[in-house]
Amino acid sequence: MIDLRYVKKLIEILDESTVDSIEMSTDKGMKIRISKSPSQRGTVQVATSVPMPTMVPATPRLTPGEGVPAYVDGPPPTAAESRAESRAKLLEVKSPMVGTFYHAPEPGAKAYVSEGTRISKGQILCIIEAMKIMNEIESEFSGTVREVLVQDAHPVEYGQVLFRVDPNG
């Protein structure tokens, strides 16, 4: 669920800035796009959408030697698909705001977490600096960090995946 106070603040920031639009999505599939009307400078439009699921029918294939159509799910998974499937089992820690990502509490200090680090719910994972305020980002679950997807001192967007965590690891 997106906090309406956060959306209102984004609208205020957008209205005062030269940026024309912001688009956000939640892990539950809700998308929000906030944009200025190109013809009416100073007004803001908010549009929301929820994606509709689509069904894809199985494709008919010939079974070897029989020449009879058989319905199968498709070809065996490739290495990339296998990695994507294993990623699907991982939980994602996403950025709750736009800002600058920091691995450690100060320059030269040891990173809060790295790949292979065992974490617990409520543990600080990183800091995101937004408007000169240092925001500590805590884990919402326990597990083992499998991927760190952001480099230190780089900008992040709202909803951007920062870490992938194996809850069973």
Where do the domains of the chain lie? 4-49, 85-166
Residue 5 phi/psi, 5-degree rounding, is: -65, -40
The C-alpha atoms of residue 18 and residue 145 are separated, in whole angstroms, by: 37
Residues of the chain under the 70 pLDDT cut: 1-4, 27-30, 37-88
- Give counts: helices (H), strands (E), the chain: 2, 13
| Fold classified for 85-166 | OB fold (Dihydrolipoamide Acetyltransferase, E2P) (2.40.50)
| Sign for the pseudo-dihedral over CA of 112, 150, 50, 58 | negative
Q: pTM value?
A: 0.51
Residue showing tokens 């159509």 = 69
pLDDT digits (tens, 9 = 90+) for 66-77: 555 544 455 566
pLDDT digits (tens, 9 = 90+) for 8-44: 777 777 777 777 777 777 766 667 777 776 544 444 4
The C-alpha atoms of residue 78 and residue 38 are separated, in whole angstroms, by: 45
